[in-house]
Structure formats: C-alpha cells, structure tokens
Chain A
Amino acid sequence: MNSQATKKIKTNTSVNIWLRILKTMFLGRLTEERLVRLYHQGKIFGGVYTGIGQEAIGAVSAHIGTPDDLYAPAIRNVTVHLGRGTKVLDVFRQYLGRVTGPTRGRDGNVHYGEMDKGVFAMVSHMGAMLSVLVGGVMARRRLGKSTMGFAYIGDGASSTGDFHEALNFASVFDVPILFMIENNHYAYSTPKEFQYRCQSLVEKACGYGMEGLEVDGNDVIKLYDQIKIILEKIRKNNRPVLLVCDTMRMRGHGEHDDASYVPKELLLKYKEKDPIHLLKKHLLNNDFACEQDLKKLEKECLDEINQSYKKALSEPMPSPDDLLEGVYAED
C-alpha cells in the first residue's frame, strides 16, 4: 500500500481552488502535448502554439474571476479558455478546423473566444486586444454589471503602441483591469533584452499612474494569493493594475520552431520551476492531497483529451458552400 494513502489529508479553504487550478493546468498541458503530436503527425492545419510551462497564470486568473468578468487571452493562454469552462473538445475542433468548433473553421489555433464565458477571441496583432477589452469592460459596467477585465500579453507585446494606448486609456477612464505581462523571456526568437531597457517591465506602470507589481508566474500559491489581494483593490478602487509575471516559454514560438536560440541552462532553470510540478509538490508536502488522488485527476484529464481529439477528428469540415456566409451580420 502506498504510504501516502495512509496519511491523513488536510484541508484549508484554498485547497479546492488549488485542485481546480491544477485540473485546468493538467488539461492545458496534456491538450497541448496532444496537439504537438497531432502537428507532427500532419493532422493540424497551420501551426501549434503552446503555453507549456506558463499554465499557472491563465489557470489562476481564470478561476479567480466572476461570471461577469471579461478576459482577453493571448497566444499562450489555453488555460484561460479551459479555466473559464471551454471544453477540451472545442480546443481540438478549433485546431483541426472543424465546423463544430468555436470559429467553425473560419479561424484556427489560438484565435477563438467564448463570449458566454466572457472570453474574447484574439487577433494576431500583438496588443490589439487590450483596448477591445477596455471597451468591453466599460460597456458591461455601463450596462449595470460589476465587470472587471483580465488582460494577457507577453514581454514582446509590451513594446507595441497598442499596449501604451490601452493602459493609458484604462487609467484615464478608471477601468478596472488586471493587465498581466507574462514575461516569458522570448518574443519568437528575440530575447527580452531587445524589447526593453528598464530594469523590469513593472516600471511601466508608474507612467500610467497605476499600481504595478511583480510575481513569480510559475508559483500557483503565490500567484493566487497575490492576484486575490490585487483584485480586491481593483474592484474597490476601480483602477487598473499592472502585474508582471515571470515565467518561461518552454518550447518554440510554435511547433515549427526548435528554439535552438534559447540557452539550455535557462530552460533547465525553469524546468525546475515547472508550475504543475510546483503545485503538486505543495499539495503533497502539506498533505493537501495524496499521490493517488493527483494521479487519478491527471488520468481523468488524459481520458477526456483522448476521447476529445478522436471525436474532433471524426467531425466534419465546414462546407465550401458556406464560404461567404456571415461576412456581415443581418439586421
């Protein structure tokens, strides 16, 4: 018998949320690992862009919001979608260009959203979704909801004019948004040293008259505690906040990119800080879960993923007859 199983499992108010976050991270990681295989098997159209190693930021923030909140995820935020309730099946449908998917084959890979879950579908232009989110939050609040927003961009997108315009705009109009920069050290092949010359991206916050904080983006416990405190402030003061999350892109920009330009030592350093590994360790070391429970959870996720990608593969493509359907909305 596993010695772990005989231990008494402790609990505290956060354990349930940690386990939900862990499940979302499992789903994200395993879904993307499957997508990588499908890509190399030639079954994916276009590219595969993963958030492997960065799952914590999306997972924590997706679980911490309310149903009225709005999210503008970026390229590596599969855990935002999954945490807000998107089915793994829909992620596969999207990547496989199926008519059953969220964009019905009209768009691919990371460009999907689910408005009923408060999630915008991103466009490829870095930073362009930030002001869309600002407007969305302004509108929902006008319509009587207590919405706040969650924005995600990388260190690369922090160099865009859109980043500047949106943060300034949100600050001027007191729009409660948590702007999260996921500093994953590389924008495609460009290291962060070529994106900015400030010590830390958090310095940008003061220029917009907003509070700025830094956090370890791979440590779910710290992230959760930090974001929880920030959100209370955001909701109370109706002010945006900038949160810079340190993390690392563990694969290439996309699967077509072997990322040979990334130093091995850097990857090794962050491998030690893998967010799933860290959370599992925390849960086990503190007896908040036992090994078996976590294995079972992972297995459940894997089963769902295996069923989902097979189902998605069996589903139909869009009909060429529908090419021109819905370019314009009808009255």
Chain B
Amino acid sequence: MPKTEMTYIDAIRSGLDHLLKDHKDVVVYGQDVGAFGGAFKATLGLQEKYGTDRVFDTPISESAILGSAIGMAMQGLRPIVEVQFVDFITTAFHQILNNAGTTYYRTKIPVPMTVRAPCGGGFGGGPFHSEELENFFCHIPGIKVVYPAYPSDARGLLYSAVLDPNPVIFLENKFLYRRIKEFILPKGEAVPIGVAQIRRTGNDAVILTYGAMVHESLHAAEQISAEGFEVMVVDLRTLKPYDIDAILSAVAATNRVMVVHEAWKTGGFGAELAALVAEHAFHLLDAPIVRITAPDCPVPFSPELERVYRPSVEKISEALLDLINY
C-alpha cells in the first residue's frame, strides 16, 4: 500500500473517517463539526459521508456535550466529541472530573468516550485560545490522557482512544496541525496508550517532552549536536498512564534530565516527571532536574510577549548546555 503525505490534522480526519466507517457505534459531534467541518477542519466532509445522525453540530454547551457523551457511552455508543479549544472545556470540567472519572469505579459501567481538544499556542491566540491544560486531566483518576506529536501517532492514538473502554482526553496541538507532515499508510495501525517513543538517541542528557515541544526539543538537540553533545528525546505520547519504564531507562542511560512542556510550571506535568525521577532514580542523577516550561502567567497575545512566554529552541539548547556542563 503506498504511503501518502498527511499533516497532523489530515491524520486526525483520516482516523475519524476510518472509525466512523468501521464502527457503527461511533458518533462525532461538537460545535461546528458538521457541514462546516470544524473550526480546524478536522471533520471536513465527514457529515456528508456519514450523515447528520452520526456527525452533527451542537449548541454552545460544553457541559451538555460532555454530559451527553457520557450518557451515550454508558448506553453502548462510542462518542467522539470535539471541544473547539481545550480552554473551553473548563466550563464543563465537572462532567469529566465527577461523572466520567468516577462512573466505572462506582457503577461498573464503562464510559468509552473520547474528548478531542485542540491545545497550545504559538499563533497569537491569546489567553483563551492557547492554553495547555493537560495536568488538570492527568490529576483525575479514571481518565486517560494522550497527546500525540506526529500525524501517525495522532491517528494511531485516536484509534486506541476510541476503542478504549475508558474516557480518554485526546489532546491535539494546534501549532502542529499543518506544520508537521509524515508519509503514512492510508489506514495504519493503532498506537497503544501508555507507550512512549524515543525520537532521538543520545547519552549526554535526556529531554522528556510531548506535544509541540517534541519538535522544539529535537531542533535544540540537533543544534547542540554540532557542539559534540548527543541528547536523547523521549516523546511521552500518553500522559496518563505515562510510560514509567521508558522514562527510567532513559534516565539510567543519560543521568541528566530535562523536562520541556508548553504548560505552566507550577503543578505542571513536568513536576510530576521530576518527582518520579527523584523518587525512583535519584541515585542516577549527575545534575539537578531542569524544567523548561511556560512561566506562571496567562498566555499573552502579542507575538513579542508570546515569543518569550513559550519555550523556544534557543531556551532549550541553552539550558541543555548548562545541564550537560553542570
């Protein structure tokens, strides 16, 4: 089967298409996802192909979107809902925390729902269209959280998320939607939830990262390779449950750890990773763990401000040299 070039958003659309085709219990809904094809065109053409019964628009009612998806999932459908921007999920947070997260534990009724939520900044989206909220979800028992960085993973993890019997928060990075391309098979395989991927090998340090920051980290690693240092980059792909074995092996192989993410620093996912390494691999560390994250301030609008807000290749490579030369 010949491979075709797909962007990150193409791969998501392709995944939705295959899921709708192969699984009659899949429905796709959310704001503007019908004839319009979604704010980012992830669902373009799907309503035409599968009908208004299976791909449909909703009122601006995040809580009813998520609540109804929970009800549908409990009755045997596999709803995939799109929250237009992850920022807007906050008005429906209780449905994820209290309903989706606790239902199976309390009642033994599975909730196989998938919530797609575009995240991240870098395009002048300002405070309410650029947030990175992964850690809010990772904190919740009963919820799984995935965050792909490549088209093949976006589609493969979408397959796994939708077929998983649990609620899965599927985080997509808007900055990557049209910037990252890959030659992939027309359908491809599911990518298992909970398995990290080493994107670059190296023994001088390891960067633990995910989402858009995988790409920034790879660029930074290439930059300092010219200076003779080789840095491993681990793309976590799943944030809950995250791949503890892969992380600890990477730490053992490098002894120097950097965490990079686009979300805020305090209580961010990097804090979880740093704590894991400190708990289980303290004796392996040759230097303090470094966290490169957004600072604790709202996502700024002006490009001049966002440039310094968002972790950059320069910031990462500079910090890598400090870490390696500690």
Contacts and interface: CB of A to CB of B under 8 A. Distances in A.
Given A135-B72, A327-B105, A125 B64 contact: no
9 A-B pairs with the lowest CB-CB distances in the bound complex, closest first: A135-B71, A131-B67, A135-B68, A136-B71, A139-B75, A165-B64, A329-B165, A165-B61, A132-B71
B99 interface: yes
Given A123-B98, A327-B142, A142 B107 contact: no
B55 interface: no
Contact of A128 (B94, B109, B144): B94
B61 A132 contact: no
Contacts of B288: none
Given A125-B94, A329-B166, A169 B59 contact: yes
Interface residues of B, number: 43
Contacts of B166: 328-329
A326 B70 CA distance: 18
B76 A132 contact: no
B104 to A, nearest CB: 5
B104 A132 contact: no
A133 interface: yes
Contact of B77 (A130, A142, A161, A165): A142
Nearest to A106: B106
Contact of B59 (A142, A143, A161, A172): A172
A315 B309 CA distance: 58
8 contacts: A113-B107, A123-B99, A131-B63, A135-B73, A136-B74, A169-B58, A327-B105, A328-B142
Interface of B: 27, 53, 58-59, 61, 63-77, 79, 91, 94-95, 98-99, 102-112, 141-142, 144, 164-166
A138 interface: yes
A132 B68 CA distance: 5
B105 A131 contact: no
Contacts of A120: 71, 74
Given A103-B106, A111-B106, A162-B67, A132 B74 contact: yes
Nearest to A125: B94
A134 interface: yes
A172 B193 CA distance: 36
A80 to B, nearest CB: 16
Contacts of A130: 67
A135 B104 CA distance: 17
Contacts of B70: 132, 135
A34 interface: no
A308 to B, nearest CB: 21
B240 to A, nearest CB: 10
A175 to B, nearest CB: 9
Contact of B102 (A113, A123, A133, A142): A123
A328 B140 CA distance: 12
Contact of A115 (B53, B102, B109, B112): B109
B77 A143 contact: yes
A129 B112 CA distance: 17
A81 B127 CA distance: 46
A86 to B, nearest CB: 13
A132 B99 contact: yes
B76 A139 contact: yes
Nearest to A131: B67
Contacts of A139: 71-77
A287 to B, nearest CB: 45
A329 B110 contact: yes
A101 to B, nearest CB: 11
A120 B72 CA distance: 12
